[in-house]
Amino acid sequence: METWDLYDKNRQLLKCKIARGEKLPAGCYHIVVHVCFFSNEGKMLIQHRQPFKDGWPNMWDIGVGGSALEGESPQDAAHRETGEEIGYDMCFDDRRAFVTSNHGSCFDDFFVVNRDLDINKLTPQPEEVSELMWADEAEILSMIDRGEFVPYNKSLISFLFSTHDKNTIFDL
């Protein structure tokens, strides 16, 4: 069973946990990480979620994402999720979230990585991911409009595209 740490509104760790699927108590939050890979052509790696996946089934999503488990830092969660979902081993110890979006009961930490990954060498997790592809901003915004992409705020997607190479080192 997956267990999450809980935090208060100021992101201070509380002394309580919750199992995935349980309703979070009022005033409690958990951490979700997203890893946005950008190619040197400025395209974002996106994944197609399996049709049987809980939450946004059969939709396209940012390349990697998931909840931090009990005891995990956002960096630990980003490392684990990247390995699980796309079969890529990357250390995030020297990184911090590029941007954090606070909504609902989540602190959504977005890590941005500028790296030209060869999709043919990645191993999508069959329980969660059916397909990977590179997409530009216009493609993703169009997919959101058509209801094919997880409905992130379009200005967040545009922000990621317009700033991904401004504050990060391009690591090949």
Distances (CA, A) of 23 to 26, 98, 111: 9, 28, 27
Instruction: Report whether pLDDT(56) > 50.
Output: yes
Mean pLDDT of 70-77: 98
Mean pLDDT of 40-62: 96
> For residues 81 and 113, is the Cβ–Cβ distance under 8 A?
no
112 three-class SS: strand
This prediction's pTM: 0.93
Q: Which pLDDT does position 139 carry in this prediction? A: 98
Quickly state the pLDDT bin for 76 (edges 50, 70, 90): very high
pLDDT top residue among 165 and 20 = 20
> Which element (helix H / strand E) includes 83?
helix 74-86
Beta strands 13-19 and 30-38, pairing class: unpaired
Domain segments of the chain: what residues? 3-163
Mean pLDDT of 47-72: 96
Mean pLDDT of 106-129: 96
Quickly state the pLDDT bin for 167 (edges 50, 70, 90): low
For 120-147, the pLDDT digits (tens) are 999 999 999 999 999 999 999 999 999 9
Mean pLDDT of 56-60: 97
Mean pLDDT of 86-115: 94
For domain 3-163, the CATH class is: alpha beta
Mean pLDDT of 44-50: 98
> For residues 47 and 86, is the Cβ–Cβ distance under 8 A?
yes
Instruction: Report whether pLDDT(171) > 60.
Output: no
